[in-house]
Amino acid sequence: MKNPVEFHGIIPPMITPLNADYSLDVAHTIRIVDHLLEGGVHGIFILGTTGESASLSSDVKSDLIRQVCRQVSGKVPVLVGITDCSFVESLDLAAIAAESGASALVAAPPFYMNIGQEELTAYYRQLAEAVTLPLFLYNMPSHTKIFIDLQTVKDLSNHPNIIGIKDSSGDLGNFEALCSTFRNRQEFRIFVGPEEILTQTLEMGGHGGVTGGANLFPELYVQAFEAFQTGERSRLKDLQDTILFLSKNLYENQTYKSCYLKGLKAALAFEGLCRGILAPPLSAYNEEEKKALHEKYLRVKEKVSSTVTL
């Protein structure tokens, strides 16, 4: 089993590059993995929300796991999302991840069934018993319609194969409670999802961020984490301000509920890091929307360039 302390810092939730037929775009997968590694990330998380895992075929998922693990080749930990409504499908993905050399698994609650905390606890225990790689819980209530309560996390943390949680609830009170609860158990790792609160959660005791914008500008987020570690508060504020500027300009356009992913993939396509194709039911911005976004993207790129130290 991996040492949990190895999991820290900036672990981008990598997008899944797709071809027009929704198969895996291998060429751009290679390109973005190289981009992330060159940017100094501390790990890569595939098949999460940003990776559109719920919309991908089993072939794309398995192809992506094998490609990323082969390419990363142990340079940084690879975390693989195995969230599914089917327990057996989750186990199949977990087996491919283990065979491919992944470091850990990440699982959000099954997102269709109506379950409570007692059933959720039983589910995670069953999952942790059945997989060989260490497991992270993934709190994503906006998508799964169930919040992993603090007491549930405490109970599950006693399982030897459950080593941490990614909290994407955006609830700072909950994150602070998690950090307080596990202050003396640093082997249980706590990561934040929303990059807009990266600095606050690091100050609370979080171990890092699974930040979507790091797909685009990994150095920005890595340098923010490093500035926190070295106590450079003024620099950290500048970097966090730039992260907020990016979020405001790239994720909050139009009225779509999916504008975060539309904006992120479009921006990555501007840089040649993917084709900008989203899997149904999502779809890319139209040409007019892309043109409007591109003007904002250029301003974001300029601000990042003025903030990040090369």
Active site residues: 138, 166
Q: Which residue has the tokens 């260490």?
A: 134
